[in-house]
Amino acid sequence: MRMKTPVADPYAPPRSVPPQDAGLARIASTQRVLVLACVPVLASLLVWNQMPHGPGRVVVSLATSLAAILLGVVGIRLAQALDGGRSAAGFGVLMITCALFVPSCTFVVASLLNWRAMKRLRAGGRSIGFFGAKVKLK
C-alpha cells in the first residue's frame, strides 16, 4: 500500500504571520506609540513653562504627569518587546522602568529605546518614518 504525500490545499486560508515577523510588528507598533507619546509630554512641558502661576498650571502639571506615565508604560512595553517578550523581571527591563519615571532621564531612556527599536526594525527590513516604523493595518 502506497502512502499519499500531503498536497497543499489551494483553498486553505493563509497561514498566520511567522513568529519573527509578529515580533517585529509588535516592536513597530510599540515604537510608533512611544514616539507619539513623547509629543504630549514635550507640548505640556513647553506650555507649563510659559504659563503664569495659577490653577491652569496645576491642570497642565496633571496632564504632564499623565502623559509621562503613558510614556513610561509604553517604554516598558517596548523594552519587553525588544527583550523577546520575556517577563518584566529582566534586569534591563527593571532598570529601564526605574529610569523612565525619573523626570530628567525619561527622554534619554525613550531615545535609547527608540534607537534600539529602529536598529532591530531596519535589520528586519522595515522602513522607518518620522513618527516611527510604518505599521501595516490588516
Does the residue 10 lie in any domain? no
CB 57 within 8 A of CB 36: no
- Structural domain count of the chain: 1
Does the residue 134 lie in any domain? no
Per DSSP, helices labelled H in 51-124 are 55-82, 91-100, 106-123
Does the residue 114 lie in any domain? yes
Does the residue 115 lie in any domain? yes
What pTM, to 2 d.p., does this model score? 0.66
Q: Give the pLDDT confidence score for residue 124 in this predicted structure.
A: 82
Could you read off the pLDDT of 21-60 as tens digits, one per residue? 667 888 888 888 888 888 887 887 787 778 788 888 888 8
Number of H helices, E strands in the chain: 4, 2
Does the residue 3 lie in any domain? no
Q: Give the pLDDT confidence score for residue 40 in this predicted structure.
A: 80
Q: Does position 14 have pLDDT exceeding 70, yes or no?
A: no
The range of the structural domain enclosing residue 38 comes to: 22-126
Could you read off the pLDDT of 65-120 as tens digits, one per residue? 787 788 878 888 888 888 776 555 566 667 777 777 676 677 788 888 888 888 88
Q: Which one, of 108, 91, 90, lies nearest residue 99 by Cα?
A: 108
In the chain, what is the straight-line distance between the N-terminal and C-terminal CA atoms, in Å? 46
